Amino acid sequence: AIEVITSSTRKVKVKCRITGEEKIVDKRVWNWVVANITLMAMGSSAPEILLSVVETCLDLGKAPGNLGAACIVGSGTYNFFVISAICMASLN
């Protein structure tokens, strides 16, 4: 899953600073930190998103409820600030 995504590479031409000759090297497509932070944010948002979808499906044809919007905003705020801060602090 996440290992497959973060291990993908592509061929890139790199010029040697000393000799000036070009070499073809493998470069990672994804930064593993960004991929893991994204996976963590998606995983922690899944319950709120599912709750919002269930509420929406149950309330079709009625006035929209407040639960869905509150879950999305609360989860987004938490993911943006707390999870990103913890991941960035762990890199130091």
Per-residue model confidence as pLDDT tens digits over 28-73? 887 777 777 777 777 777 777 787 788 888 888 888 777 767 777 7
Task: Name the burial class of residue 48, with classes exposed (0-12), middle (13-18) and buried (19+) by CB atoms within 10 angstroms of its CB.
Answer: buried
Tokens of 23: 């070499």
Separation of alpha carbons 23 and 35, rounded Å: 28
What pLDDT sits at residue 35? 75
The reported pTM is 0.42
